[in-house]
Chain A
């Protein structure tokens, strides 16, 4: 037993073992890095990213019924829903909808509370901005949803 450890020490077997291990990791197949703007990671379907207000694809009208449930569900109170009652149909009509993603933690409670599947958190994760200005999203922006970013380089 002691002879074996002595021989291991003399022939530096442990060091050689380590060297062979690191040598094997040089294989290009092992590389873990993603070349981000060119290779994009596959995002899970349940990922909670940029919010979107869905519209009815046939009529082009919003699905939102201005029930204010999302604003009540939001722990940060960052959703503001304003509406007025249509005198003819006696229904609430959405007049203003803002979503402040600078304070949003993407918990998804608003999405869960929405009774008409109008509000949805999409899989778009490229929502960083250079300032706070563009982070309060209005109704138009929310209805447009994710705009695929194109990187020049």
Chain B
């Protein structure tokens, strides 16, 4: 047991590859707990950021700046009455939220948070991810059907149509990124493994976003639009359009099972952002690994995570000093101060050499994913919802041809040296 524990700390493989069951289990638990915690705080962050976009303040009363709001929300949801409609199909009604949540969480088995920080490295990683994440739509359809009600059924039908149409464009965009992995000099074939894709970007010395300049960017753009539609977020949130369908497929759900839907939705958001980061933004790699190479730059960039957390702690403490001096706010000010200290302490731990070498990959991955989550909220604050026919038009008549064209042109450009020699031989 203890040998397994220490063995992994020196290993450069993922626990799944090394056959280290202990660490694989630890990783699964840590990822499950960590993602759940992230979801809870993304929920807070979304309410806060959305409020600021709409020149409001958002939650302010529960804890300093509403920091304890997620805990209050979770308690409220767990204590709420959990109703099942009288005419609902009870078994299916029970299973549906679990399908959504499970599909969202199983995806994390292959998400590479770092070269060693993934549960396992499947050789069909990206295929597995796309396959499992699209199982989530099954849960949505069963939820809509089992509720035995009009609006949920309409919402889930919209959702299935939307997911099927956007999956095509999304898949083609992904394929063009996978195609780029096969253009690594000295390597005979491409790879579907999530870690392999990032390694390919490392050896090619360029993020696939900037590969064959406009092509990678266009494929990424197609994916970035399709992934919003895949996760049912605004402006493509037709399955749960409040103004049209009450709440769409989860109209009849309440309490714990409703919170499972929310958990699944936000976990899927993080997972899909993880795919985008892995395929186009260099996964766990720090910025400019080739341009600013060398041990000096390595050290500087490995100090960034700790410095980032120290900066966050300093901002929090500055906020503490600026809290209104009111006797009713004394406990909140104290709490915010302790929170800032805790963040700063995390930053100090991240500055320890042994820790920062092992953990900085996770930091770079998460900071990229966080940028995507912010974009999700930003889009939601900016764009109005598409009409259903507009949604279908964008999916089939715009994104699909673009992604097909990008795929073909990527292949031609990638094979251009071989094509040129073949042409010379023919002529």
Contact = CB atoms under 8 A, between A and B. Distances in A.
Nearest to A29: B55
Contact of B54 (A21, A25, A152): A25
A153 B328 contact: yes
A45 interface: no
B55 A30 contact: yes
B131 interface: no
B382 to A, nearest CB: 4
Nearest to A150: B328
Given A25-B55, A32-B55, A35-B60, A18 B382 contact: yes
Contact of A32 (B56, B324, B329, B379): B56
Given A15-B383, A18-B382, A38 B326 contact: yes
B378 A31 contact: no
A33 interface: yes
B396 interface: no
B328 A151 contact: yes
Interface in B323-382: 324, 326, 328-329, 378-379, 381-382
Contact of A19 (B54, B60, B378): B378
Interface string A18-53: 110111011010111101001000000000000000
A152 B329 CA distance: 10
Interface string A92-114: 00000000000000000000000
A35 B378 contact: no
Interface residues of A, number: 18
B326 A31 contact: no
B53 A18 contact: no
Contacts of A21: 382
Nearest to A28: B52
B382 A33 contact: no
Contact of B56 (A15, A31, A38): A31
Nearest to A16: B382
B60 A22 contact: no
Interface string A66-100: 00000000000000000000000000000000000
B53 A25 contact: yes
A18 B114 CA distance: 35
A106 B245 CA distance: 42
In this complex, the member of B49, B53, B60, B378 whose beta carbon has the largest number of chain A beta carbons within 10 angstroms is B53
B412 interface: no
Given A15-B383, A18-B382, A18-B383, A33 B326 contact: no
A35 B60 CA distance: 9
Contacts of A19: 378-379, 382
B57 interface: yes
Contacts of A18: 382-383
A22 B381 CA distance: 7
Contacts of A15: 382-383
B52 A33 contact: no
Interface string B295-333: 000000000000000000000000000001010110000
A9 B371 CA distance: 25
Cβ-closest 7 pairs across A and B:
A33-B57, A22-B382, A26-B52, A30-B55, A18-B382, A32-B55, A153-B328
Given A18-B382, A19-B378, A19-B379, 17 more contacts: A21-B382, A22-B53, A22-B381, A22-B382, A25-B52, A25-B53, A26-B52, A26-B53, A28-B52, A33-B56, A35-B57, A35-B60, A35-B324, A38-B328, A151-B328, A152-B328, A153-B328
22 contacts: A15-B382, A18-B382, A19-B378, A19-B382, A22-B378, A25-B52, A25-B54, A25-B55, A26-B49, A26-B52, A26-B53, A31-B57, A32-B55, A32-B56, A33-B55, A33-B56, A33-B57, A35-B57, A35-B60, A35-B324, A38-B324, A38-B329
